[in-house]
């Protein structure tokens, strides 16, 4: 009987070893990037919020965005708020704007908020991606959206770790009557055999404008019923692990000229990055190599 080798002489091990040696090649010039602003957030605050997020599956964070940012988003979004949804999930009395990175520069500050990125840095592998971003305007008289989980389309049975996370920013005040996001605390731990029941605790993310609910992608949630005559405007962004396919194809929806003006955080989130050893490459190179040179680079 041959001596045990711990696998080191096994051809598969040699392949893995060479694979590991190659991991840094495409990222040698453009390696992992992390938000400097996210790294600078208050760690005590972050710790407390993150504990709640992992325990309950969500956390409500009040007054993240100033009034001027809310005004900017409202003004930029208004021309695009035309069509209503095509089904009960999109909302037949709900207006949605897709493709925000191309259409609304005012949305970037929400998508890349340092505190949100700091939470995502703890949840996911480096170079995680923006899966989709929308502005959602629930009109008066809209019924509640069906409860759902955001990453249920990935074929990985639950219970499992969250593969994605999402924010819903209140651009208008969220109230119990105007369609505030609802969620079932702890439902991120449910298995495949469990779906929402009438006796489940349902919380409503009542919060002032500028606030946000951050939740895991396997938490049961939905848009609430709007029992008022007014509308309820929100911005939502979903993020996923860097090795997953995103819901929106930003390489097609965001023009090259727009990409040239984006921040490093937005570039990374849109997929101008590498997940080692070479996921995301373009002609065997890091995707940022196909972009025009940026000032100071």
Residue 166 has pLDDT above 70, yes or no: yes
Q: Which residues of 136-150 are buried (b: 16+ CB within 10 A; e: fewer)?
A: bbbbeebbbbebebb
Bridge partners (DSSP) of residue 235 are 135, 169
Mean pLDDT of 6-15: 41
Which of 4-18, 31-45, 170-184 bottoms out in mean pLDDT, i.e. has the lowest? 4-18
Q: Is the pLDDT of residue 6 over 70?
A: no
Q: What is the pLDDT of residue 11?
A: 44
**Model confidence at 91: pLDDT above 50:** yes
Separation CA 204–CA 180 (nearest Å): 6
Top pLDDT among 94 and 10 is at 94
Domain ranges of the chain: 42-247
Does pTM top 0.85 for this prediction?
yes
pLDDT of 50 over the 60 cut = yes
Residue 24 has pLDDT above 70, yes or no: no
Confidence bin at 31 (pLDDT 50/70/90): low
- Residue in the block written with tokens 């060479």: 18
What digits encode the pLDDT tens for the residues 168-216? 999 999 999 999 999 999 999 999 999 999 999 999 999 999 999 999 9
Alpha-carbon distance 34 to 250, whole Å? Answer: 20
Per-residue confidence (pLDDT) for residue 28, from 0 to 100? 56
CATH assignment of 42-247, given 2.60.40.10, 3.90.660.10, 3.40.190.10, 2.60.120.620? Answer: 2.60.120.620
Question: What pLDDT is stored for residue 26 in this prediction?
Answer: 55
């Amino acid at each position: 009987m041959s001596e045990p080798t711990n696998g080191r002489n096994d051809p598969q091990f040699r392949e893995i070893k060479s694979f590991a040696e190659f991991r840094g090649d495409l990222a040698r010039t453009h390696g992992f990037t992390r938000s400097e602003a996210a790294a600078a957030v208050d760690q005590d605050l972050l710790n407390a919020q993150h504990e709640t997020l992992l325990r309950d599956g969500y956390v409500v964070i009040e007054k993240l965005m100033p009034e001027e940012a809310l005004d900017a988003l409202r003004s930029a979004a208004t021309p695009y708020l035309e069509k209503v949804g095509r089904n009960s999930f999109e909302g037949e009395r709900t207006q949605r704007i897709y493709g925000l990175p191309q259409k609304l520069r005012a949305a970037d500050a929400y998508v890349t908020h340092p505190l949100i990125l700091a939470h995502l840095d703890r949840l996911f592998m480096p170079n995680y991606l923006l899966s989709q971003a929308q502005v959602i305007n629930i009109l008066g008289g809209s019924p509640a959206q069906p409860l759902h989980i955001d990453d249920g389309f990935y074929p990985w049975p639950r219970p499992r770790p969250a593969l994605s996370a999402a924010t819903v920013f209140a651009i208008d005040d969220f109230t119990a009557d105007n369609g505030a996001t609802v969620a079932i605390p702890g439902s991120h731990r449910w298995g495949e055999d469990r779906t929402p029941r009438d006796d489940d605790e349902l919380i409503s993310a009542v919060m002032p404008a500028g606030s946000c609910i951050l939740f895991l992608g396997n938490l049961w949630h939905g848009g609430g019923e709007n029992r008022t005559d007014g509308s309820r405007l929100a911005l939502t962004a979903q993020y996923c692990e860097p090795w997953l396919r995103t819901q929106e194809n930003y390489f097609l929806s965001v023009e090259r000229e727009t990409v040239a003006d984006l921040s490093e955080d937005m570039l990374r989130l849109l997929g101008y990055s590498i997940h080692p050893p070479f996921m995301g490459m373009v002609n065997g190179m890091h995707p940022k190599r196909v972009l025009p040179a940026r000032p100071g680079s």
